[in-house]
């Protein structure tokens, strides 16, 4: 394609017929017109995936772990067949839900594709969830089978879950390096090879700590008698021995509107919402990724660090593979080592958050091989984008492509095009997705190109089926408009310019994004109040140089001089909630201010307070008090 095709035609922009984006679709001038009316396949995701990668040469490597053994189309097909046999012999049938809590390894992808072909459903749980939250997700989906990565932190939480009330029948533990080990080594050599690989991963472990953790895991496995067929938890080796055998299998050939994937959003424990995504959703997402002008083309390489528990994971792995991009999986890494990791693998495409991109910008490495540095998960501020792009220009790297989406629309809705991105924008909609601006919580559309703010709403085939067993929450965000279409109401404030670019202006909800994870502040307050440790509280967001946004908890204690309750609360949140929920600071107050109009908590006033001003407040660790009312803490 010639670049001139995508030069903006301002006169054409002004001559649109209606002035409403849902009809005019001003962004389509940026996409190849040949794909405008290309029909989306009605296959299940596995059949669509295999038919698309079939178009590439048979020796094309599409997936690897840490740059080691690569998987071609035939390799992927063979791996999926093995898992279908094992799943079938395990007793999994169409419609069953199978849960996963794993690090980023090829097995996750193979098993998802196998379940999809069988008509079963994958339930993805993030590896750092608390036992209570894990148990809630297992019960919500009636999961009987649970596949987890064989590392101490995950195993220890799973042990706690096994002692809770749930319907688990089997837990299968899978080594991180399974894909590499089984392809190269057998017998006793495996243990030695595991040691070699563990000590040369990209996380700088202390060898003594690492040895201790693995010895602890070995002991746990012995105590649980993992090789005992009567135990609920078994090793992956035992699992293959029991279930990898010839068997007739029943496969699903259609079912585009059937749920095939569940991921989670929001909440801290029981408030978590399971997003139901269908075959249609996933196929449409990958279709849009491939045929939109985002620059993800055959022959490029990528490096994926995203955990297999978010909708973006399928976008960054299967989605890019359908585009003919080789995906290198990184199971774990240290944030400060990210630029070094990029330099080691030299990918063309990365999906990163603002924090990681800023680290790259100030690093000494030359990233001139990067053609598509994509930013997502959190808004990239204009000054940050300018700084990063200036640094990238000096390094010979292409400008950042900022994107936007959510699990409810299968991860991605917009992205800046490969040619002609706009600073400060979230980009343009994918080729098969509609985005427009509406008056808040209504179906009254606001004209684009007039700098009029409203609620960003999204429609199209990537829109989720709904929240699992939660029709009230579904109906709140997924609404039927008078145009005859369902739209996702995002609670994000934005505008659309005359060329179809979206600009984020803020949020209607009390919500922040911390390290790419959303946190609803009201949910944090609910979690705090149910402990009974404080009389009242109000959570607000605060800017942070490292994490961008962090929660600060203002609270009222029964006795303002007794801070022991704060330490108890902090420990409770560490043990029962995701790390996102842990406050950066606890501010002790005599009362929580309220608004004059409706007598509600005045969180806006609290956000304006400079709690780090040592002329007004005193800080002791995470605890802050006003020095005007209490003496300074030691």
Residue 494 has which token pair?
């934005």
Same domain? 268 vs 222? no
Give the residue with greater pLDDT, 209 vs 457: 457
Same domain? 26 vs 147? no
- Do the domain assignments include residue 466? yes
Least confident interval from 161-175, 319-333, 348-362, 610-624: 610-624
Count Cβ atoms within 10 A of the Cβ of residue 490 and give its class: 0-12 exposed, 13-18 middle, 19 or more buried: buried
Same domain? 219 vs 311? no
- Do the domain assignments include residue 464? yes
Of 507, 535, 554, the last residue of a domain is 507
Domain of residue 536, residue span? 511-626
What mean pLDDT comes out for the span 285-304? Answer: 96
**What pLDDT band is residue 608 in, cutting at 50, 70 and 90?**
confident
Least confident interval from 174-183, 297-306, 325-334: 174-183
- Do the domain assignments include residue 533? yes
Evaluate if residue 300 carries a pLDDT over 70.
yes
- Do the domain assignments include residue 251? no
Give the residue with greater pLDDT, 456 vs 514: 456
The fraction of the chain above a pLDDT of 90, given in percent, is 62
Domains held by the chain: number: 3
Residue 292 sits in a domain of what CATH number? 3.40.50.12780
Helix (H) or strand (E) holding 628: none
**376: region left, alpha or beta (phi > 0 left; psi from -120 to 50 alpha):** beta
Sequence-distant (6+) residues with CB within 8 A of 165 are 135, 139
pLDDT in tens, 486-515: 999 999 989 999 999 999 987 777 888 887
**What pLDDT band is residue 58 in, cutting at 50, 70 and 90?**
very high
- Is-contact 529 43, C-beta < 8 A? no
* pLDDT at res. 11: 44
* pLDDT at res. 206: 58
Query: Between vectors from CA 627 to CA 623 and to CA 631, what angle results, nearest 5°?
Result: 85
Helix (H) or strand (E) holding 111: helix 106-118
Of 243, 277, 300, the last residue of a domain is 243
Same domain? 411 vs 525? no
What mean pLDDT comes out for the span 340-344? Answer: 96
Same domain? 530 vs 391? no
Evaluate if residue 232 carries a pLDDT over 70.
yes
pLDDT in tens, 405-429: 999 999 999 999 988 889 999 999 9
Residue/partner pairs of 31-38 with CB below 8 Å, 24 or more apart:
31/291, 31/292, 31/293, 31/431, 32/1, 32/5, 32/291, 32/293, 35/291, 35/292, 35/431, 36/431, 38/287, 38/291
- Is-contact 130 96, C-beta < 8 A? no
- Do the domain assignments include residue 249? no
Same domain? 500 vs 612? no
Least confident interval from 178-182, 313-317, 379-383: 178-182
Residue 534 sits in a domain of what CATH number? 3.30.300.30
What mean pLDDT comes out for the span 433-452? Answer: 96
Query: Between vectors from CA 19 to CA 16 and to CA 25, what angle results, nearest 5°?
Result: 70
- Is-contact 112 92, C-beta < 8 A? no
What mean pLDDT comes out for the span 24-37? Answer: 90
* pLDDT at res. 627: 59
The fraction of the chain above a pLDDT of 70, given in percent, is 86
**What pLDDT band is residue 214 in, cutting at 50, 70 and 90?**
low
* pLDDT at res. 251: 78
**What pLDDT band is residue 473 in, cutting at 50, 70 and 90?**
very high
Same domain? 590 vs 464? no
Evaluate if residue 188 carries a pLDDT over 50.
no
**What pLDDT band is residue 240 in, cutting at 50, 70 and 90?**
very high
Residue 173 sits in a domain of what CATH number? 3.40.50.980
Nearest CA to 557 out of 522, 586, 597 is that of 586
Evaluate if residue 377 carries a pLDDT over 60.
yes
Same domain? 360 vs 485? yes
Of 470, 486, 507, the last residue of a domain is 507
What mean pLDDT comes out for the span 73-101? Answer: 96
To the nearest whole number, what is the mean pLDDT of the chain? 86
What mean pLDDT comes out for the span 387-416? Answer: 95
**What pLDDT band is residue 301 in, cutting at 50, 70 and 90?**
very high
As beta bridge partners, residue 466 has 276
Same domain? 498 vs 415? yes
Same domain? 120 vs 154? yes
**Would you tell me the crossing angle of helices 382-395 and 354-362 to the nearest 10 degrees?**
40
Give the residue with greater pLDDT, 62 vs 225: 62
Same domain? 146 vs 283? no
* pLDDT at res. 563: 84
* pLDDT at res. 510: 80
- Do the domain assignments include residue 415? yes
Least confident interval from 446-455, 543-552, 598-607, 623-632: 623-632
* pLDDT at res. 211: 61
Same domain? 459 vs 571? no
- Do the domain assignments include residue 250? no
Evaluate if residue 75 carries a pLDDT over 70.
yes
What mean pLDDT comes out for the span 340-356? Answer: 95
- Do the domain assignments include residue 67? no
**What pLDDT band is residue 630 in, cutting at 50, 70 and 90?**
very low
What mean pLDDT comes out for the span 130-151? Answer: 96
Polymer length of the chain = 634
Evaluate if residue 633 carries a pLDDT over 80.
no
């Amino acid at each position: 394609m010639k670049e001139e095709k995508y030069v903006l035609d301002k006169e054409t922009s002004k001559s649109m017929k209606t002035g409403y984006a849902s009809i005019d679709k001003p962004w389509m001038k940026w996409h190849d017109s040949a794909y405008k009316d290309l029909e989306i396949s009605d296959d299940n995701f596995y059949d669509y995936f295999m038919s698309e990668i079939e178009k590439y040469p048979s020796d094309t490597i599409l997936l690897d772990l840490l740059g080691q053994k690569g998987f071609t189309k035939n390799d992927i097909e063979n791996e999926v067949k093995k898992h279908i046999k094992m799943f079938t012999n395990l007793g999994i049938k169409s419609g069953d839900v199978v849960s996963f809590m794993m690090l980023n390894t090829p097995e996750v992808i193979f098993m998802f594709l196998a379940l999809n072909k069988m008509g079963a459903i994958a339930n993805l749980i993030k590896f750092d969830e608390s036992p209570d939250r894990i148990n809630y997700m297992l019960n919500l989906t009636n999961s009987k089978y649970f596949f987890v990565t064989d590392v101490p932190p995950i195993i220890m939480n799973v042990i706690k879950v096994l002692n809770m009330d749930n319907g688990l029948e089997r837990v299968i533990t899978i080594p991180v390096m399974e894909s590499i080990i089984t392809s190269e080594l057998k017998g006793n050599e495996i243990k030695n090879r595991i040691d070699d690989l563990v000590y040369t991963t990209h996380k700088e472990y202390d060898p003594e700590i690492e040895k201790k953790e693995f010895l602890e895991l070995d002991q746990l496995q012995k105590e649980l008698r993992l090789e005992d067929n009567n135990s609920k938890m078994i090793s992956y080796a035992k699992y293959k021995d029991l279930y990898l055998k010839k068997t007739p299998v029943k496969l699903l050939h259609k079912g585009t509107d059937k749920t095939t994937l569940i991921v989670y959003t929001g909440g801290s424990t029981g408030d978590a919402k399971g997003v139901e995504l269908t075959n249609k959703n996933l196929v449409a997402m990958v279709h849009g990724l491939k045929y939109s002008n985002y620059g993800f083309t055959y022959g490029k390489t990528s490096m994926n660090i995203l955990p297999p528990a978010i909708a973006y994971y399928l976008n960054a792995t299967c989605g890019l593979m359908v585009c003919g991009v080789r995906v290198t999986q990184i199971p774990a890494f240290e944030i400060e080592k990210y630029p070094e990791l990029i330099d080691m693998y030299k990918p063309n495409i990365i999906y990163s958050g603002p924090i990681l991109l800023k680290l790259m910008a100030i690093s000494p490495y030359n990233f001139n091989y990067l053609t598509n540095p994509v930013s997502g998960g959190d808004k990239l501020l204009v000054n940050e984008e300018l700084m990063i792009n200036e640094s990238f220009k000096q390094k010979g790297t292409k400008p950042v492509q900022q994107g936007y989406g959510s699990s409810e629309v299968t991860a991605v809705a917009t992205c800046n095009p490969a040619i002609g991105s706009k600073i400060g924008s979230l980009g343009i909609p994918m080729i098969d997705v509609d985005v427009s601006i509406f008056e808040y919580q209504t179906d009254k559309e606001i004209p684009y190109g007039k700098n009029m703010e409203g609620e960003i709403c999204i429609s199209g085939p990537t829109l989720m089926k709904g929240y699992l067993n939660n029709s009230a929450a579904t109906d709140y965000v997924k609404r039927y408009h008078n145009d005859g279409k369902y739209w996702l109401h995002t609670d994000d404030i934005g505008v659309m310019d005359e060329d179809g670019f979206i600009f984020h202006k803020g949020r209607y909800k009390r919500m922040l994004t911390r390290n790419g994870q959303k946190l609803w502040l009201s949910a944090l307050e609910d979690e705090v109040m149910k402990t009974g440790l404080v009389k009242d509280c109000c959570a607000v967001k605060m800017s942070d140089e490292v994490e961008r946004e962090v929660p600060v908890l203002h609270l009222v204690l029964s006795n303002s001089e007794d801070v022991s309750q704060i330490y108890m609360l902090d420990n409770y949140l560490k043990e029962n909630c995701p790390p996102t929920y842990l406050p950066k600071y606890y501010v002790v107050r005599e009362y929580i201010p309220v608004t004059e109009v409706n007598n509600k908590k005045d969180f806006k006033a609290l956000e304006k307070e400079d709690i780090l001003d040592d002329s007004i407040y005193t800080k002791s660790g995470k605890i802050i008090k006003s020095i005007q009312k209490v003496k300074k803490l030691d």
